[in-house]
A and B are shown apart, each in its own frame.
Chain A
Amino acid sequence: MPIENSDFELDFDTLVSAIGQAPQIPQDFRLRIGKGSTIQIDPVTLLTDRPGVFAGGDAVTGPATVTQALAAGRQAAVRIDEYLQHRYPALPKETRAALTTPLLPRTIELVRRVNRLDPPVLPAQDRTGGFAPVELIYDWKTAIDEARRCLRCGAGAEILFQDKCATCLNCLRVCPYEVPQLDASGTLQIPADQCLACGVCVAECPAKAIMLRKPYDRRQVTEELEHALRSALQTSSKPLLVGFCCQYGLFGTGSLAGLWKAASASIWIVPVLCVAKVEEEHLLRAFEMGAEGVFIAGCGAQCARENTGQWVARRIEKVRRALATLGIESERLQALPTDGEEASTVQAVQEFADRVGRLCLTAALKREVRK
């Protein structure tokens, strides 16, 4: 779009152009300089040749737009975070797609097959009478069930700390999809692109050497938990309940949130992607930070994976034993049976809240008597 009167001529003796045409990097920065005086970086990690120094923006690309420079800054922040936490940089989407290989036949065989749900259609006799769409939309529950079929392939686990790995073979033995393999040198490998990110091995690794790359690692469960507890302690005087609930299922919709406000306890939900990712440590920490009761609620029979309930039961059992020896009622920790129905889930949570309420009362009375 031409701007009127913007085309004019003026006379000058000297003209200094100061529009950032080329970066001038001071010598004492000791950085490798390349074409057009720009800083040379690793395109993936954004690291310069000096360890711990990152670069981005016009100083790297040469003159470009402000938007691109801002993006480089944001990207550098992510890379620096990864660098400080000794994580591999997450690759850009295109590279990731190229690295992802099709699942092995054995893995596919072991994945639970859930059939596609077809959306309802308008009955044939109603179609002739108007212009209403023939293909109708899913209701809430069907939509969730359909979405839950996705297994987020290629977002897998990985042994990130080989030096910590004791080669105990737990991951190889517990993986429902037989993904971890021993290579010829006796080292365990978890091909991340074969992994279905169920998280069982992450919790079962005794050396804490396995991490889920994306989108959900153990750190995030801990962060969510701490956030929930901090907010809970500020807002309520009712006994606090913490629930680890599967985001894939009913709990992901948020349709239950309102109902819990009416409960006799204050209930805080820690969203997890599949309850198999909840570790003993998370349960203990919830109690430590003031929860009076903790429950785990997954998707029951609708879970897209096998044996999730068994892992949850095992971890609950271990923590309950610890609670019992420490003089805390083990009923305060429970896995709630859920069948994916809103009404029965709310009822189960309510019953659990009542039970914990009674336990709190008894405990308080006992304390008084002792005094």
Chain B
Amino acid sequence: MIVAETKPLDEIWRSIAPYSRVLILGCGTCMTVCGAGGEREVSFLADALRMSQARGGEHDHSLLEYTVKRQCDAEFLETFVDRSREVDAILSLGCGVGVQVVADRFPDLPVLPGNNTYFMGASSEWGVWDERCAACGDCRLADTAGVCPITRCTKGILNGPCAGAKNGKCEANKEADCAWILIYQRLERLGQLDKMRRYYPPRNFRVIPRPRRIVNKTQVSTGGNDGQVSV
């Protein structure tokens, strides 16, 4: 899932400063799970901003709170169209995708990001998130025993390990396990060490032009086919 972090409060203050009525919009999926933009975070942010306002007296914003199930599908955004008419801006606590879908749906409103979106990852324990996938579009995990060298090797090398690992940790990032040592250990356990000896040619980055698009539709015939479904 997508992992993000709420922006510092002073940055959020600066971004909403020109707008007097702001809707703080949470997202009930990834952002809730990673604790960056669920209903609790929405009310924490609103409370913090209100408190600062009550004490400082420099700002005068009215803040609305709302959390949708998922910001990245426009249908969910229809549930607060009425409220959107009462505000001057939307502060989205969605990921980068959510912010853009909201902006697309509300062309007449400024949509501000409240989060910094970082990566796709997994939680290794409560409250700790690690990057696991770079969405490179050319998955090689079968050759690397389910450990991704693109994301987990700091250098992203396809033929490892380099000579820089020390005590199983990366020389460039002493916190991180060396991905290639993990790959070796798992391959050894699986009895597939021959995969270590193979050479993997450099990847062709030209196969991933941006922005990417996936079309995955079951095409429904609209006539001449007696309503039969063709795939």
Contact = CB atoms under 8 A, between A and B. Distances in A.
Contact of B40 (A206, A289, A322): A206
Given A166-B33, A168-B32, A206 B51 contact: no
Given A166-B28, A208-B39, A281 B55 contact: no
Contacts of A280: 44, 47
A208 B40 contact: yes
B194 interface: no
Contacts of A288: 47, 50-51, 54-55
B48 A322 contact: yes
A326 B33 contact: no
Interface in B162-218: none
Contacts of A167: 33
A327 B125 contact: no
Nearest to B52: A326
A194 to B, nearest CB: 20
B120 to A, nearest CB: 16
A164 interface: yes
A287 B54 CA distance: 9
B29 interface: yes
Given A206-B41, A207-B38, A285 B33 contact: no
Contacts of A326: 9-10, 13, 48, 51-52, 56
Given A166-B28, A166-B32, A205 B40 contact: yes
A206 B39 contact: yes
A163 to B, nearest CB: 8
B90 to A, nearest CB: 20
Contact of A281 (B10, B33, B43, B125): B43
A174 interface: yes
Given A208-B40, A325-B8, A328-B55, A164 B28 contact: yes
Interface residues of A, number: 25
Contacts of A345: none
Interface in A276-296: 280-281, 284-285, 287-290
Nearest to B69: A163
Given A281-B43, A284-B51, A327-B56, A207 B10 contact: no
B161 interface: no
A206 B52 CA distance: 22
Interface string A186-221: 000000000000000000011110000000000000
A322 B50 CA distance: 12
B35 interface: yes
A285 B47 CA distance: 6
Given A164-B39, A205-B40, A287-B51, A325 B9 contact: yes
B126 A170 contact: yes
B55 A206 contact: no
Nearest to A286: B51
Contact of B38 (A206, A281, A285): A206
A147 B152 CA distance: 52
A173 interface: yes
Contacts of B35: 168, 170, 206
A287 B32 contact: no
Contacts of A284: 44, 47-48, 50-51
A174 B126 contact: yes
Interface string B19-57: 000000000110011010011110110011011101110
Contacts of A287: 51, 54-55
Interface string A325-339: 111100000000000
Contacts of A285: 47, 51
B10 A325 contact: yes
A167 B30 CA distance: 10
Contacts of A207: 28, 32, 38-40, 67
Interface in A126-169: 164, 166-169
A371 B80 CA distance: 43
Nearest to B10: A325
A173 B126 contact: yes
A168 B10 contact: no
Contacts of A166: 28-29, 32-33, 38
B196 to A, nearest CB: 35
Nearest to A326: B52
Interface in B41-84: 41, 43-44, 47-48, 50-52, 54-56, 67
Residue in B9, B51, B56 whose Cβ sees the most chain A Cβ within 10 Å: B51
Nearest to A328: B55
Interface in B137-155: none
Interface in A328-362: 328
A206 B35 CA distance: 6
Nearest to B40: A206
B2 to A, nearest CB: 13
9 closest pairs, A vs B, by CB? A206-B38, A288-B51, A173-B126, A168-B33, A284-B47, A326-B52, A166-B32, A325-B9, A208-B39
22 contacts: A167-B33, A168-B32, A168-B35, A169-B123, A169-B126, A206-B33, A206-B41, A207-B39, A207-B67, A208-B38, A208-B39, A281-B40, A281-B47, A285-B47, A287-B55, A288-B51, A288-B55, A322-B9, A325-B8, A326-B9, A328-B52, A328-B55
Given A166-B29, A284-B44, 17 more contacts: A169-B123, A173-B125, A206-B33, A206-B40, A207-B38, A207-B40, A207-B67, A208-B38, A208-B39, A281-B44, A281-B47, A287-B55, A288-B55, A322-B44, A322-B48, A326-B48, A327-B52
